[in-house]
Amino acid sequence: MSETPSLRSRFRAWLGLAALASGLGALGLSAEAQPSSVPNPLVIEILSPDLLSGTAGDYVTVRAQITNASPNALTDITTYLSLIDTQNKMPVDLEDWSAERGLFIGTIESQQTLPLNWKIHFVKAGTYELVVVANPAGSRTPQVSTMTRFQVTPKRNLNPGQVLPVALGTPLVLILLFLIAAYKRQRREKS
């Protein structure tokens, strides 16, 4: 009978330790979750429609805007595009798609909104997804816009009706010119 209170007290002590541990765990968890509660200082919105369609070779302008939602001015922000080929599940090299691959913002004041416009050249047929990314200097996480989709249909340049006369005609005209020159030369030599 004398052992029962001792067992109880031990059980209570274990419970207390478990509660302390769970409390500490909860504190740790809340400390980890803290950054997600901090609002993003930059908000990027794509103003163009969610789906932009065209034929290979067409140009479209993607209009977006960036807003500084923080109470302080932000400096040295690099904004750029990220394009994904959804058929091939691969990112796309933007070299031929856009002459301006990135736009640099020196300073954006608090609550200020700046436009971001990119002229995009539909180079190849397919379906693509585009996001605008902003990377403020010193930030560990870039800010990303919502996604815009491109639907690019192929452009066939099949126009044999135009090219055939040129492809056949030019060599034939040259042969004719050579024959005329040769004939004139022979006549001159004979005379």
In this structure, are residues 48 and 149 in contact, taking their beta carbons and an 8 Å threshold?
Answer: no
State the minimum distance, in angstroms, from the CB of residue 120 to other proteins: 12
Give the shortest CB-183-to-other proteins separation in angstroms.
Answer: 11
CA of 6: how far to CAs of 12, 14, 15, 17, 178, in Å? 10, 12, 14, 16, 120
# residues contacting other proteins (CB under 8 A): 31
Q: How do beta strands 42-46 and 90-91 pair? A: unpaired
Q: Is 99 in the site for other proteins (CB under 8 A)?
A: yes
- Binding part of the chain for other proteins, among 1-9, 10-18, 39-47, 117-125 by CB under 8 A, reads 117-125
Quickly tell me which residue has 């109880």 as its tokens: 8
Selected from 45, 65, 121, 139, the binder of other proteins by CB under 8 A is: 121
Q: What's the residue count for the chain?
A: 191
Q: Cα dihedral sign for 9, 10, 15, 21?
A: positive
Q: Are 40 and 74 in contact, with CB atoms under 8 Å apart?
A: no
* Rounded Cα distance, 135 and 144, in Å: 9
Which CB sits closer to other proteins, 80 or 122? 122
The 141-180 site mask, x for binding other proteins (CB under 8 A), equals -------------xxxxxxx-xxx-xxxxxx--xx--x--
| 16-55 binders of other proteins (CB under 8 A) | none
102 binds other proteins (CB under 8 A): no
Burial category of 79 from C-beta neighbours within 10 Å (exposed 0-12, middle 13-18, buried 19 and up) = buried
Question: Is residue 125 a contact point for other proteins (CB under 8 A)?
Answer: yes
Residues that bind other proteins (CB under 8 A): 56-57, 59, 96, 99, 121, 123-125, 154-160, 162-164, 166-171, 174-175, 178, 181-182, 185
